[in-house]
Structure 1
């Protein structure tokens, strides 16, 4: 990974995992990571909350250092945008052994959001410009690997994608748009000796 790309992935504590297990907060954080700085009102519209409820969740996310105000105080807090302070979350490295339920809830909510975006793409695919339809990457691979090799694949994919993350790439290139790239590299428990 090049040294000029900020890591900024948070390793969550038990408290952060519990906070993110609230689907509305995860949806707000995901939205800010996707589109950049937004007011509470714009976030609320995007995730289906009231502005006041969204503001409360943003303050909670701020309490854990996951978001911050994007501009100096101009006297009207309703017009001040919020931004994510991270580029991602390393769920495997954070929390404690008793946090498995919260970790699973965060993963489930995060990928439910990802799956909803994929379903939305499929609904609108025929109306998209040809270049974006042809650029779509929709693959599923069954790979024969060791645990170390699967880890290495994930690391290499992250190194390729990280320079393009919305929270890192602040300037939109000409013709650019936010795209969703989701990676799940998981072992199939049916093929592990002793797994149930």
Structure 2
């Protein structure tokens, strides 16, 4: 098992179906970023009933993305935790399957919206961050001319770098959100 495979859920059809609902993606994100939680605690944070949240937690558990945290709670007060820190998927695995094309599209759009929301939240709170962080934050967007193999190699290298920085949390750490995407775009130059 590679280093990233221990920390990233390899998205298959079962996981994709579970992640095709935006609320489940949000719940999973909260469990990954803020740690174990109960259905009632998550319900308050996402603005839903605990019954609705419980149902979505069961869906995430059936897909293997979360498990009950046996070290916390009681039979009445169940705590849940994420199994992986993130997801990894390839569009190729889903776009030709008519049963998975819809869930893939829903999940991909939800992830883009969640990434935008995370960055927008940071920008809204930028003045709240200590001076030590302000000049360390990076937003980068570069158009590159690459072959498909070069784009794949670039992504592999970026994921290896991210893997080198992955370690257990220590005192003094701050959670940092890392987004990575490499995708082609159709060139639309102005014509005379």
Report the count of equivalent residues.
185
Q: Is the 8 A contact 2:72 2:79 kept in 1?
A: no
In the TM superposition, what whole-angstrom CA distance separates every residue of 1:45-102 from its partner, at most 9, and x where no partner exists?
A: 3333222211110011111111100115864332x32111123333316446222221
Give the whole-Å Cα distance in 2 for the aligned partners of 1:151 and 1:67: 29
- Residues 125-134 or 171-180, more deviating: 171-180
2:28 aligns to what SS in structure 1?
helix
Aligned mates of 1:4, 1:105 — CA distance in 2: 24
1:87 is matched with 85
Structure 1 gap ranges (5+): 192-196
Mapped partners of 2:122, 2:8: distance in 1 = 29
Sort the Cα spacing of 1:45 and 1:159 in 2 relative to 1 into closer, same or farther, 3 A. farther
- 8 Å contact kept, 1:11–1:94: no
Query: 1:194 is matched with which residue?
Result: none
Which secondary structure state, in structure 1, belongs to the residue aligned with residue 183 of structure 2? Answer: coil
Q: Which has the higher contact order (CA 8 A, sep 6+)?
A: 1
RMSD: 2.5
Quote the Cα distance in structure 2 between the aligned partners of 1:52 and 1:44. 8
Map Cα deviations across residues 129-157 of structure 1 (whole Å, 9 max, x no partner).
11122221111111111111111111111
TM-score by length of 1: 0.82
Equivalent positions of 1:1-196 (< 5 A) are 6-13=6-13, 15-71=14-70, 75-78=74-77, 80-92=78-90, 94-95=93-94, 97-98=97-98, 99-164=100-165, 169=167, 171-190=168-187
- Report the Cα distance in structure 1 between the residues aligned to 2:125 and 2:73, rounded to whole angstroms: 39
* Structure 1 Cα separation of the partners of residues 72 and 127 of structure 2: 44
